[in-house]
């Protein structure tokens, strides 16, 4: 098969798992049990790893859109024989609304076909391959006309409004849809050793799922600029949230490459504390964070009691710590980009900036969290602060998770200052056990050290690490976290150097000089910095150019190829949508308040 572009995919979610469906009607990625579970449909990473296509037999023009304020995707195929719409969703549990979505998800993919004009020949091709393509299932036709696929620990039941035929190791059907005709299909997941899943009415389930997503409108209270894009990005972030725990997956996928054919391919289906905290910031902008206490409870319980070991930086979606990485050797990888990795060894790293992001989120949401903070949250903040006070002088791997030597990354040190500064401000809410004079002294020492050792006179900028001549776009985060104002002469020189040396004419910003693509989060940080530096018109022009890198249904990857404009990296990427929300708010309110 021809490899679809990453931008060809739309994102479906039930806040338990997610799926990617292409413009041709093929679902090429689904991990039905939860976001980080093994895929049963994995053609995204290998043509042999499973798919479910439902679409016209003949090619034609395609138009797509999400139904308003949902992750329910409607694709209209215009062919020579007529037009047909296919509406796809991961079903909500019956009656669920807003934050109830995903708590008891039925794990059912529903697809409704509707004839619009003419008589359109259609085909269904279903070839499940559980365990990332390792397993070829047995197929058994059921008395109700459905087909059950079983392999290893997985059972899948496909049912539809037309006869389905098991043929070898796949299910196929050919049929035609006329104007006004509507047919429903559903694919249900269950453990192999349970009963046959009860069938949903696909049409009713689709309507209920739309209602569940649209109930989030009640929490969307954003009234700033670019409201449509902000609300959509907030919906994407909610779609990446694993509702049972409150964890936020960094992305839906694993091993989509930063460079085609390259080996920087990582598994992003877990929850990084950094991304989690930044998501809470973004949702504070885009919506009323009604569930802040529950989400912070996940963070506190996942971190646990802190000892001498480094603060853990990422977890499985239910708080698992050991995410040991291994290669899926049976998969060829997207565009031949090997290895395909499951797990992420970054869980072993020390990244000193993480505490600052978490404590910053507590500070931002303090009015939703009560006074004093509850015991778990107080213990988490105090533990993170004490850990920073004891370890801030150590080298680390930085926010880009370098896999070479540890260094004294400037942004890591600045976020250590954020931890101490905001912990001092939160002290009245933290009860006993707060050594305010020591915390204040450590805060001031960190700041003085960063200002002295972070500036590189030869480069004329703050560089990525102490003593380094290499620029790093992470330093654009310093004004965002209020370590330095963007108008500070040295900070202004740094912004100019990053834009000149790491930027592209279209406003993309690479993380460092050898980075293969423009990193969208850094591009949005540049927008924020320019607003704060007093250049709102130029910031807005860059913002709108970066918005243009979203696909036709408003989804952003991690990076963009600056030559072709093609998306790179895992998709959709939470950090990119976080950056969009925060930059839109900065354009609305330059203070970010």
Whether 501 maps to a domain, the answer reads no
User: What digits encode the pLDDT tens for the residues 415-451?
Assistant: 999 999 999 999 999 988 799 999 999 999 999 999 9
Comparing 143-152, 292-301, 324-333, 541-550, which segment has the lowest mean pLDDT? 292-301
Question: Is residue 375 in a domain?
Answer: no
- Which pLDDT value is given to residue 294? 77
Q: Do residues 162 and 188 lie in contact, with contact meaning Cβ atoms separated by under 8 Å?
A: no
- State the pLDDT confidence band at 2, using cuts at 50, 70 and 90: low
pLDDT digits (tens, 9 = 90+) for 4-14: 999 999 999 99
- Cα torsion at 411, 412, 415, 416 (round to 10°)? -140
Give per-residue pLDDT as tens, 380-389: 999 999 999 9
Say if residue 1's pLDDT is above 60.
no
User: If we measure between CA atoms, which residue out of 133, 129, 21 comes closest to residue 572?
Assistant: 21
Mean pLDDT of the chain: 94
Q: How many domains does the chain have?
A: 1
- Taking the chain, what is the end-to-end CA distance rounded to the nearest angstrom? 50
Look at residue 111 and tell me if it is in a domain: yes
In this predicted structure, the answer to whether residue 210 has a pLDDT above a threshold of 80 is yes
129-154 average pLDDT score: 94
Q: Where are the beta strands (DSSP E) in 343-430?
A: none
Classify residue 192: in a domain, yes or no: yes
pLDDT in tens, 307-353: 777 889 999 999 999 999 999 999 999 999 999 999 999 999 999 99
Per-residue pLDDT, averaged over 458-462, amounts to 98
Collapse the DSSP code of 79 into the 3-class scheme (helix H, G, I; strand E, B; otherwise coil) and give the result: strand
Q: What is the CA radius of gyration of the chain?
A: 24
Task: Output the pTM of the full model.
Answer: 0.97
Where does the pLDDT of residue 274 fall: very low under 50, low under 70, confident under 90, or very high at 90 and above? very high
Q: How many CB atoms lie within 10 A of CB 401?
A: 17
Q: What is the pLDDT of residue 451?
A: 98
Q: For residue 26, what are the domain limits?
A: 6-216
Q: What is the mean pLDDT of residues 25-38?
A: 97
Beta strand 455-456 with 559-560 is unpaired
Structure confidence by residue, pLDDT tens digits, 484-497: 999 999 999 999 99
Nearest-angstrom CA–CA distance, 85 and 573: 27
| CA 270 – CA 439 distance, rounded (Å) | 32
Q: How distant is the alpha carbon of residue 397 from its chain centre?
A: 22
Check residue 288 and give its pLDDT.
Answer: 67
Share of the chain above pLDDT 90, in %: 85
Residue 388 falls within a domain, yes or no?
no
How would residue 371 be classed by pLDDT, with cut points 50, 70 and 90?
confident
Q: Which CATH number do you get for residue 29?
A: 2.70.98
- The mean pLDDT of 553-577, rounded to a whole number, is 97
Task: State residue 198's pLDDT score.
Answer: 75
Query: What is the pLDDT averaged over residues 165-193?
Result: 94
Say whether pLDDT at 556 is over 90: yes
Q: How many CB atoms lie within 10 A of CB 261?
A: 11
């Amino acid at each position: 098969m021809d490899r679809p572009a990453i931008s060809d995919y739309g994102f479906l979610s039930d806040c338990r798992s997610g799926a990617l469906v292409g413009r041709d009607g093929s679902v090429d990625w689904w991990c039905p049990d939860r976001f980080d579970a093994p895929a049963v449909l994995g053609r995204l990473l290998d043509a042999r790893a499973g798919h479910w296509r439902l679409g016209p037999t003949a090619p034609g023009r395609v138009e797509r859109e999400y139904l308003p304020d949902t992750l329910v995707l409607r694709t209209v195929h215009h062919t020579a024989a007529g037009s047909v719409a296919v509406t796809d969703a991961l079903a909500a549990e019956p009656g669920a609304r807003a934050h109830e979505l995903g708590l008891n998800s039925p794990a059912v993919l529903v697809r409704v076909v509707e004839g619009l004009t003419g008589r359109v020949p259609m085909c269904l091709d279903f070839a499940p391959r559980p365990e990332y393509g390792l397993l070829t299932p047995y197929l058994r036709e059921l008395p109700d006309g459905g087909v059950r696929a079983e392999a290893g620990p997985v059972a899948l039941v496909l049912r539809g409004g037309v006869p389905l035929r098991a043929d070898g190791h796949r299910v196929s059907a050919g049929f035609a849809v006329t104007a006004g005709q509507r047919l429903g299909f559903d694919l249900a997941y269950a453990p192999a050793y349970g009963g046959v899943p009860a069938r949903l009415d696909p049409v009713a389930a689709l309507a209920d799922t739309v209602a569940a997503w649209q109930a989030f409108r009640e929490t969307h209270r954003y009234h700033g600029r670019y409201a449509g894009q902000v609300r959509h990005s907030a919906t994407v972030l909610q779609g990446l949230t694993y509702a049972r725990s409150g964890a936020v997956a960094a992305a839906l996928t694993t091993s989509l490459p930063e460079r085609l054919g390259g080996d920087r391919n990582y598994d992003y289906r877990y929850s990084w504390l950094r991304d989690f905290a930044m998501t809470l910031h973004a949702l504070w902008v885009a919506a009323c964070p009604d569930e802040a206490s529950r989400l912070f409870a996940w963070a506190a319980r996942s971190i646990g009691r802190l000892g001498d070991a480094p603060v853990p930086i990422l977890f499985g979606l239910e708080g698992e710590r050991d995410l040991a990485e291994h290669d899926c050797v049976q998969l060829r990888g997207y565009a031949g980009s090997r290895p395909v990795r499951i797990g992420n060894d970054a869980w072993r790293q020390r990244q000193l900036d993480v505490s600052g992001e978490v404590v910053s989120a507590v500070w931002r949401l303090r009015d939703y969290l009560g006074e004093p903070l509850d015991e778990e949250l107080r213990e988490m903040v105090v533990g993170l602060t004490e850990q920073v006070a004891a370890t801030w002088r150590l080298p680390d791997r930085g926010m880009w998770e370098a896999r070479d030597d540890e260094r004294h990354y400037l942004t890591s040190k600045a976020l250590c200052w954020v931890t101490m500064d905001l912990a001092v401000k939160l002290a009245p809410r933290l009860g006993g056990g707060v050594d305010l004079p020591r915390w204040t002294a450590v805060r001031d020492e960190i700041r003085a050290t960063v200002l002295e050792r972070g500036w590189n006179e030869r480069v004329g900028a703050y560089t990525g690490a102490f003593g380094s001549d290499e620029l790093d776009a992470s330093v654009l985060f310093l004004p965002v976290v209020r370590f330095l104002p963007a108008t500070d002469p040295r900070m202004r020189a740094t912004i100019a150097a990053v834009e000149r040396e790491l930027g592209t004419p279209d406003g993309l910003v690479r993380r460092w000089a050898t980075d293969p693509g423009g990193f969208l989060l850094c591009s949005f940080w540049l927008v924020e910095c320019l607003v704060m530096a007093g250049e709102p018109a130029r910031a807005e022009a860059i913002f709108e150019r970066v918005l243009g890198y979203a696909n036709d249904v408003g989804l952003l990857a991690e990076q963009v190829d600056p030559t072709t404009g093609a998306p790179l990296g895992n998709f959709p990427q939470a950090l990119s949508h976080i950056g969009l929300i925060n930059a839109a708010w900065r354009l609305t309110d330059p203070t970010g308040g």
